[in-house]
Amino acid sequence: MDIQTLERQGLDENKIRELYLYKIPSLKTCDDWVSVKEIGRIEFKGKHANYIGALVQYGENVYFIPNSRLDALAPYRKWHFKNTITVIKESEIKKK
């Protein structure tokens, strides 16, 4: 999922819908970890998966990085997350 699509559909004012969060792939490897841009920290325990980590942008795309990977990369790259992203549950959206 690219950043423009995510911003249009779900990532708005440091909030993201649960449905769009499930569509974001995990970043496992990349050629240049220094060029990865921080979007924000996320802590969400959902019905299908737990997302405890961060959302980042690499190139044109948005990825999720779990806390374990962030900790493993910490000696090689310093992370500076300024935002905390809130997840809006689908059940809350249907009530409105």
Instruction: Give the other-Cβ count within 10 Å of 86's Cβ.
Output: 13
Per-position b or e across 53-81, b if 16+ CB within 10 A of its CB? bbbbbbeeebbbbbeebbeeeeeeeeeee
Q: CB-side exposure of 35: number of CA atoms within 13 Å?
A: 8
* Entry pTM: 0.84
Give 3's pLDDT tier (boundaries 50, 70, 90). Answer: low
| Sequence-separated (6 or more) residues with CB below 8 Å from residue 7 | none
Tens digit of each residue's pLDDT (9 = 90 or more) over 68-96: 999 999 999 999 999 899 988 877 676 65
